[in-house]
Structure 1
Amino acid sequence: MGMKLIWAVIAVVTTVLAWSVVMVTLGQTAAIATLVPSLGLLVQQIVQAATAGTRTGGRAPTAPGDDTRDSAGEPR
């Protein structure tokens, strides 16, 4: 993810969370109760996407035909 995209997502999440706080302050607890599950999922997905490239083992395994090692694990 590019830095611009990350900052845009953070801005959207912050705006939605701020709006939720305003609604609760105004007494609209039903509004926040309906938003909490989707906001939790949104934050989880953002964190997962942001950390996907930094985890070890994040690369997909190569196809069997692309392996340059023989059955003993030695290079061909």
Structure 2
Amino acid sequence: MKSRQVMTVAVLATVLAWSTLMTVLGYLAAVAALLPSLGLLIQQIVSACNGVASRRGSAAGSEELSR
């Protein structure tokens, strides 16, 4: 794994651990407010690790313009 990927995974693990801790301690409202951001964080990290989503998105965009 590249050092950048290791750092990304470490950040993700920290954010998820913090969210779990807040839930355990009873801060459900705070966690509910953070869920959309956490979902986007996970999606972007998976996309960055795979490197596929950005290539597909640009190809789909150019295909739409040609129609």
Q: What is the TM-score of this pair, normalised by structure 1?
A: 0.63
Give 1:32's aligned residue: 31
CA RMSD of aligned residues (A): 2.1
Q: Which has the larger radius of gyration?
A: 1
Equivalenced residue count is: 55
Aligned partner of 1:37: which letter? P
Give 2:8's aligned residue: 9
Secondary structure of the 2:29 match is helix
Q: Which stretches of structure 1, 4 residues or longer, exceed 4 Å deviation after superposition?
A: none
- Unaligned regions of 5+ residues in structure 1, if any? 61-76
- Mapped to 2, the partners of 1:13 and 1:51 lie a distance apart of 15
* Alignment of structure 1 residues 1-76 onto 2, 5 Å: 3-52=2-51, 55=52, 58=55
- Mapped to 2, the partners of 1:49 and 1:26 lie a distance apart of 32
* 1:17-75 alpha-carbon deviations (Å, 9 max, x no partner): 101111111110011111111111111111111112xx5xx4x8xxxxxxxxxxxxxxx
Q: What is the TM-score of this pair, normalised by structure 2?
A: 0.70
- Mapped to 1, the partners of 2:30 and 2:2 lie a distance apart of 31
Q: Percent identity?
A: 48
Secondary structure of the 1:27 match is coil
Say which structure, 1 or 2, has more relative contact order (CA 8 Å, 6+ apart).
2
